[in-house]
Structure 1
Amino acid sequence: MTDPRVAAWKSLELQPDRSLTELFSGDPDRVGKLATRWEIGEGAGILFDWSKTHLTDFLLADFEALADAAGFTEMRRRLFAGEVVNPTENRAAEHSALRGVGKDSSVEEAAALRERMKLLVEAIHEGALGEVKHLIHIGIGGSALGPALVVDALGRDFSLVDVHVVSNVDGVALEDAFAACDPATTLIAVASKTFTTIETMINAQSALKWLGENGVDDPSGRVIALTASPEKAVEWGVDETRILPFSESVGGRYSIWSSIGFPVAIAVGWEDFEAMLAGAAAMDVHFRDTDARANLPLRAAFADLLYARVKGAETRAVFAYDERLRLLPSYLQQLEMESNGKSVTAGGDLVEGPTAPITWGGVGTDAQHAVFQLLHQGTHLVPVEFVASIAPGDVLDPAHHRILLMNCFAQGAALMAGRESGDPARTYPGDRPSATILADDFDAGTLGALIAFYEHRTFAGAVLMGINPFDQFGVELGKEIANRIERGGESFDASTEALLAAAGLS
């Protein structure tokens, strides 16, 4: 019997190509069908406009058939039920339970851990650990990218504590944080699921040394541990009253909702942290309860696969036309490429076709004067995503934000329409796809909803491709070889041996 997924992919590949201008002229209700305003609550909302992609009614129907064939509804049920969706590690993926949407027992456990974190955050703000002006948050991957994005987005106008996120083992990064902080009023947060991550732990040791060398009598007493391995943190010397655990069923790149979000709560306060969780929970409910093309993360995943799998686009570009979201492309790189950058299915078979595209991007309007030349006139097909806010993030002359938004919308229009010219160098081919996410504003709730949208979109794409988005064995081999180099006594390829000798490491 033919796998129904194969038939669905074949039907998608056989759909005729039509230009974006033809699609708009042939369907006067195209915007109404593919641009959806989603309400978060209390008058806040986000417009998700996928009308400038090549999705059609026929393609959407084929993708819905693919979702049925891939068992999307059942996989989504298992995700929210706290059942195993990560078969290679025999784990659930319960990040939504941290927001209050999931298996009852997991939601209750998450609420208890959240209350523990709330008490510590409020105690710190009230002076229980002395005067605290600075926090150096040390982690890597999801333990750093999520906190860095949210603190940078929400902590610009008002910050209770000055937070510095350090992930790179390059000592220059840690020295920069030291230079900005007073040791006498600085806490150190060490974020590691296992509390053994080598880059994180060596940075943490150096931070303790810095505190001790600068007059802090009890450096270990200034450490907060954020981990799924509390016993390891105790062994390392952290008092258990300053350990904030989270569940093993929460992956690093999905962990901002757990105690890994501690620097967010410290920086902007508990109320904003909870608002972020509430916004994400609203998106959880939408994703859980909405079917087919009306499901916004699923619809976005349809478009992602149309370009990556059917049209052969190897990259996807995300441009935040909002300085508050300047770190969003970096955050999405890990979320999307570590989750879906796989070459085998969840069952261990080779994937037939491309999986995750390379995610990249930047900030508008800077990017217009750097990379948009390639997007408009280059030879690569690059689906573009614009993220913007109706409300400005500044209090300057409104002309700033008006020009910013006009440029954002103009880029999407230009990518689609193109322009012919008698001069080939001034010809724009057009028919280049884009999507636009336009929020009313990027407050805590909206940011939480946006991040959850990207999480569920990534999961939906994985299900459609039949892969497991929750393991990441690809990050381990290089680390293993680095450990072997550290131990010594082994030979490597001639190039690596020469590099080690040149650096004095052999």
Structure 2
Amino acid sequence: MPLLKINPTETLSWQKLQQHFYDIQFVKMQQLFCENKNRANEFHIQWNDFLVDFSKNRINATTIDLLVELANEVNLKVGIDALVNGAFINETENRKVLHTNLRKLSTTENAEVHDALNKMQHFTQNVINGTLKGSTGLAFTDVINIGIGGSDLGPKLVTEALENYKNHLNIHYISNIDNDSIQTLKNKLNPETTLIIIVSKSFTTLETISNANIFKDWLLQNNLKTQHHLVAVSSNIPEAVAYGVESVNIFPMWDYVGGRYSLWSAVGLSTALAIGFNQFKQLLDGANEMDNHFTNTPFKHNIPVILALISIWYNNFFCFETEAVIPYVDKLKMLPAYLQQVVMESNGKNVDRNGDTVNYETGNIIWGEVGTNSQHAFFQLFHQGTKIIPTDFIGFVNAFTPSDLHDLLMANFFAQTEALMNGKEGNYHTNDSNDKNAVYKDFKGNRPSNTILINKLTPKTLGSLLALYEHKTFVQGYIWNIYSFDQFGVEYGKVLANNIKAELNNQDIKNHDCSTTFLLNHYLKNKK
């Protein structure tokens, strides 16, 4: 079957969904549970260490049937096969999209990936065991990863999430061009025992190279041979060599892997240094298992597909524009920020794959915070606000360090999904209430959520979780008929930033709109 490029709103299944929405939009979830005592059993998927309960949603069996019909009508399976088999689905940049190949550990079909993994393994082992040393003969104690976007968010998330598995190396991440923060870090570290990883596909990224220059100068000011302290992850080998990185210390990046999907590659070198290569392989293995589930499982039992379809249901029919992700473990505090790039950089598009302006909503707004912190912040809006925010709750059955405190954490986890669904009726409905504030204590409920319950946070389950959201994002973009793997909006901002930087250096502001000109002149006038 062909790779279709059709406006989803023009499909027969979309029209059926629209009519179904009119029939079901005011139905209460409480009523659905009362009518079907077996609802939780019918609306969940259990896979490996994952239990995904999507019963607390404004859906019934017909909703799922029609959403799956939509996926079939646009040939989603063909799209999935094209993704994993290396078709040039990133047509605007004429590229394959093969981040799934980065986590295939049991095959040699992609020699360059396996060569890179072997090189990573050798390098990380030598740094961790102290064989590879700095220029004064001291073993490394600290690693600085300098990158931005996908060269920072993914590795930083995974390194923090798997802190319980870390070794003696201290990993630091620098992305923003904030010299105050950089100076604070430099004051804490010994340059003789610091390894610096510069991550940039082009090796010309403004923020990354600007930050790298500061740390390179820091090494030189301490009379160190920079080639013993600098490592690069880049596809521009000549530029990295010219910068002073020895070719043996340059790890590859490939055009068929977008930045936000690159933590599985050598971009994850800092993570592999933090937790050891064997644990890094477990991360890849977990992602690969989710890839196989996504590729081979019928849609009704396919976790990424079902979550994507429910998201489309809310975004395009209920017009709920945002989604929250609430992980109930501190070590996943960066997950919402990471997913903001994966989802919003991928699907923040207003032109379809035919070059036509879309006439429907794309790209959800993703946000969140860890529980229980979030309960004492924005959950008031979740429960009683005028906005409906579908929410993914992510929790773990077993803590890394078991304690009664974990039961308290998870009690909150379960209580919030129950409260959002059931609500609480205030006493003002009864005639004998003397509570003048009863009306303010009323919770209507009927607020949707997904519960993702995982046995334990390990490298393998984390790999599966992140791959789940990657594939969910792909399914949404494919059904919306948009290109999810380019990011021209981001690139244009880089061009403008380079131009403005040159103007600031020359103190000569060129042609801008009156507001930007006013702001730039104010900046120059008051800059010391």
TM-score range, shorter chain: over 0.9
Q: Are the structure 2 counterparts of residues 118 and 3 from structure 1 closer, same or farther at C-alpha, using a change threshold of 3 Å?
A: closer
Output one character per residue of 1:108-131: Cα deviation in whole Å (capped at 9) or x when no partner.
321111111111111222323310
State the partner residue of 1:420: 425
State the partner residue of 1:23: 32
State the partner residue of 1:178: 186
State the partner residue of 1:503: 523
State the partner residue of 1:399: 404
Q: Which amino acid aligns with 2:124?
A: V
Cα drift, residue 27 of structure 1 = 2.1
Q: Which amino acid aligns with 1:55?
A: I
State the partner residue of 2:319: 312
8 Å CA contact 1:344–1:351 kept in 2: the answer is: yes
State the partner residue of 2:352: 345
State the partner residue of 2:87: 83
Which of 279, 289, 292 is residue 299 of structure 2 equivalent to? 292
Which of 162, 166, 169 is residue 170 of structure 2 equivalent to? 162
Cα drift, residue 346 of structure 1 = 1.8
8 Å CA contact 2:192–2:224 kept in 1: the answer is: no
Q: Which amino acid aligns with 1:297?
A: P
8 Å CA contact 2:420–2:448 kept in 1: the answer is: yes
Counterpart of 2:52 in 1: which secondary structure?
A: strand
Counterpart CA distance in 2 for 1:473 and 1:104 is: 34
- TM-score, normalised relative to structure 2: 0.91
Cα drift, residue 485 of structure 1 = 1.6
Q: Which amino acid aligns with 2:96?
A: A
Q: Are the structure 2 counterparts of residues 177 and 393 from structure 1 closer, same or farther at C-alpha, using a change threshold of 3 Å?
A: farther
State the partner residue of 1:432: 447
Cα drift, residue 66 of structure 1 = 1.1
Cα drift, residue 101 of structure 1 = 7.8
Q: Which amino acid aligns with 1:473?
A: F
Q: Are the structure 2 counterparts of residues 290 and 493 from structure 1 closer, same or farther at C-alpha, using a change threshold of 3 Å?
A: same
Counterpart CA distance in 1 for 2:366 and 2:487 is: 17
Counterpart CA distance in 2 for 1:176 and 1:381 is: 41
Counterpart CA distance in 2 for 1:332 and 1:426 is: 34
**2:475 aligned with 1:455, yes or no?**
no
Query: Which region of structure 1 is more displaced relative to structure 2, 200-209 or 13-22?
Result: 13-22
State the partner residue of 2:274: 267
Q: Which amino acid aligns with 2:209?
A: M
Counterpart of 2:168 in 1: which secondary structure?
A: coil
Q: Are the structure 2 counterparts of residues 389 and 141 from structure 1 closer, same or farther at C-alpha, using a change threshold of 3 Å?
A: same
**2:363 aligned with 1:360, yes or no?**
no
Counterpart CA distance in 1 for 2:223 and 2:276 is: 26
5+ residue gaps, structure 1 = 40-44
Counterpart CA distance in 2 for 1:3 and 1:175 is: 51
* Percent identity over paired residues: 36
- Between structure 1 and structure 2, the one with the greater Rg is 2
5+ residue gaps, structure 2 = 1-5, 134-138, 429-437, 504-508
Counterpart CA distance in 1 for 2:65 and 2:356 is: 27
**2:261 aligned with 1:254, yes or no?**
yes
Which of 481, 488, 503 is residue 496 of structure 2 equivalent to? 481
Counterpart CA distance in 1 for 2:39 and 2:89 is: 35
Counterpart CA distance in 2 for 1:221 and 1:230 is: 17
Counterpart of 2:42 in 1: which secondary structure?
A: helix
Counterpart CA distance in 2 for 1:35 and 1:438 is: 11
State the partner residue of 2:46: 37
Counterpart CA distance in 1 for 2:318 and 2:223 is: 59
Which of 108, 112, 119 is residue 109 of structure 1 equivalent to? 112
Cα drift, residue 3 of structure 1 = 6.9
Counterpart CA distance in 2 for 1:291 and 1:103 is: 25
State the partner residue of 1:445: 460
Counterpart of 1:390 in 2: which secondary structure?
A: strand
8 Å CA contact 2:350–2:358 kept in 1: the answer is: yes
Cα drift, residue 246 of structure 1 = 2.4
Cα drift, residue 427 of structure 1 = 0.9
State the partner residue of 1:14: 19
State the partner residue of 1:468: 483
Cα drift, residue 6 of structure 1 = 2.7
Counterpart of 2:152 in 1: which secondary structure?
A: helix
Counterpart CA distance in 2 for 1:85 and 1:56 is: 33
Residues 314-329 of structure 1 mapped to structure 2, 5 A cutoff: 314-329=321-336
Q: Which amino acid aligns with 1:126?
A: N
Query: Which region of structure 1 is more displaced relative to structure 2, 124-133 or 452-461?
Result: 124-133
Counterpart CA distance in 1 for 2:405 and 2:491 is: 45
State the partner residue of 1:99: 103
Counterpart of 1:317 in 2: which secondary structure?
A: strand
**2:339 aligned with 1:332, yes or no?**
yes
Output one character per residue of 1:197-254: Cα deviation in whole Å (capped at 9) or x when no partner.
10000000101111222x2421232111011222321222210000011221111000
State the partner residue of 2:431: none
State the partner residue of 1:410: 415
Cα drift, residue 157 of structure 1 = 5.4
Counterpart CA distance in 2 for 1:301 and 1:113 is: 32
8 Å CA contact 1:147–1:264 kept in 2: the answer is: yes
8 Å CA contact 2:105–2:285 kept in 1: the answer is: no
State the partner residue of 2:236: 229
**2:86 aligned with 1:66, yes or no?**
no
Aligned pairs, number: 496
State the partner residue of 2:153: 145
> What value does the CA root-mean-square deviation take over the aligned residues?
1.8
Cα drift, residue 9 of structure 1 = 1.6
Counterpart CA distance in 2 for 1:457 and 1:103 is: 25
Counterpart of 1:249 in 2: which secondary structure?
A: coil
Q: Are the structure 2 counterparts of residues 288 and 101 from structure 1 closer, same or farther at C-alpha, using a change threshold of 3 Å?
A: farther
